[in-house]
Amino acid sequence: MSGENTFPSPPPPPPHAGQKERRSPLVLGGVIFGFSPLLFSLVASIFVEDALNESTAIGSIPLLMIFTLPIGLVIFIVGFTNGARNMANRNR
C-alpha cells in the first residue's frame, strides 16, 4: 500500500558527450591473468628460437594455464557481476 502513493525516482543523467562509463578493471585483469603464461611464451618466442617447444623450460610455461585459467575465470566472474550490479543500481 505504501508504494501506491510514491513517485518513481527520476532516471540518472546520461554521461557527458566525451565521457565513457566506468567498467570494472577486474574483468580485463581476469582475462590477462588467465592467459598470462601463454602471453609470456609468445613474447619470449620473439627473443628465443625454441620458445614454444615443450621440451624447453619456456615451452612448458603454457602448462601453468591449468592453474591460471580457473583463477582468472573467478576474477572475471567477480568483476562482471560487480559491474552488472553497479549498472543495475545506476538504472534505478
Cβ burial 35-61 (10 Å sphere, 16+ → b, else e): bbbbeebeeeeeeeeebbeeeeebbeb
Answer yes or no: are the C-beta atoms of 51 and 45 closer than 8 Å: yes
Phi, psi of 33 (to 5 degrees): -65, -40
In the block, cell 559491474 appears at 83
pLDDT digits (tens, 9 = 90+) for 21-36: 667 788 999 999 999 9
The pLDDT of residue 84 is 83
Domain boundary assignment for the chain: 25-90
Give the side-chain half-sphere CA count within 13 A for 48: 14
pLDDT tens by residue, 6-59: 666 776 666 666 556 667 788 999 999 999 999 998 898 899 888 788 888 888
